Chains A and B, each alone.
Chain A
Amino acid sequence: MKKLYSILKYACIIALTVSLISLIAVVAYVLINGVSKLSFDLLFGDYSASPSIFPAFIGTLQLVGIASIIAVPIGIASAIFLVEYTGNKGRFVKIVQVATETLAGIPSIVYGLFGYLIFVVAFGWGYSMLGGGITLAIMILPTIVRSTQESLLSVQDGLREGSYALGASKVRTIFKIVLPSCASGIVTSIILAIGRVVSESAVLILTVGMVVNKVPETLMSPGTSLALDIYYFASHGYPNEASATAVVLLVFVVFLNLLASFIGKMIKKSTYGDAK
């Protein structure tokens, strides 16, 4: 009996090693294999001569812009309503909770189909950056609502009551007291949501059209993104370009993640500094 459990203990340690090795292997492989294939032409060149990911840069920035302009205000506002106006209980909160949880669980390809049906077909926009951006916004909305809700709940009631006691209105209290004191949590969640936009590709196949060789002229033109470029290169016989693009995307995503934790820490420090 005792022996069995010590064997299990070693199984655990082996499993830990295996998972660390396999996860590190993915990152290390992408970096080692890709860095040597980066070139100026690939990063900033014109697509006409050789493959370039410059259009994908622009496309990714546009998608991030559209998705966050839509999802951030709506997400924060709906979290404010749930926490500040209904006290985070009651039937309405429950319904919204179920809706956001369900939205969070929908596979990205189904979002893609939806975006295709509504923007490409029903609105007649064809493949467009705007349609892709709006679809992504709906996709990241649940994450933003959920984490903003948690941040708002972590604000002590004393702060709100103090503000009311000084004669501030509810709206003023929310914007001047509650939001600033939980800004770090909200900013972190926004950056993580942007990370999801940058990583997403299944949604975009169906909504922005994977046009890899042209910088989108307007928001209504088709285009591409970094993640989508990797898929395009890998499946159309450009393995070197695919691994080089993977390095760029990986650096991008890791940078966003580190930025999120850094900003979280920094704002926490500055608010504590103010309190003194």
Chain B
Amino acid sequence: MWNSRTDYLYVAPAIFVMLIVIGYPIYYTIELSFFNTPASLSLADKTFNGLDNYVTILTSPIFWKVTWQTVVWTTLSTFFAFVLGLGAALALNREFAGRGFLRGLLLIPWVVSAVAASYVWKWLYHSDFGVIGALMVQFGLTDHPINFIDNTTTSLYALIVVNVWKEFSFAMIMLMAGLQTVPDSLLRAAQVDGASAWQRFWHVTFPHLAGVSTVTVLLLAVQNFNSFIIPWVMTSGGPAGSSDIWITHIYQIAFGRQRWGVGAAYAVILFIVMMVLGYFYVRALTKGDESRAGA
């Protein structure tokens, strides 16, 4: 057992640092979530109020509205980013002239700064000067430019479009790497066995991508759940909270209205949800290891 003791010694510095920068904030957030806090930074004046903050949150209609919007945001963003990424990866998996160039081009959304991209898209969507509105008028789709982001029914979906544009490159890269590991001989075997192109995809390629797809979807889901930059820069959750998702809402409560206790309680709820997603992510990641180790 001497060995395992030295093992702990080796990881001790890392654990120590993580306890300070990760462990303590988590503890402090959980502690704060049970307190009523003054709307200032004098947190020493906080008073214990038990589960009041949680009750406030869970009984508030806004919480359920924001939760629903978060679910819509996460699900649609993840789904479309994955589907678009898969399509792009499949297209780029074939040999054709200009493939390298196109691959680079499709990677741009992923490498562009999210803040810069958000501002660009804000302009594209702009009701007076936006390119999108102008093009729609040009093609006769509408009489006057639609106001996408200053509109309570469309703002969330307008943001989802931006988010999908920003994220599909990530899914594309992951799936392209996955596609490269599909054994050529399996595809050939299927071809000799009489499978059409679609059947080869369905029976060989797609099952082979199952592992990387699971990981990609979970990573996208976690990332979308935690999204902040795009919704905050483009709408700050507005208009009238129509594009608010959990992170932007928590930010507003804590740092906008300085309701630290309620914000902390919100964060704890989000933390629990994230841990559940994280559990599935780690399980998906290590599933292959176990079957290999068991073999």
Q: Do A and B bind each other?
A: no
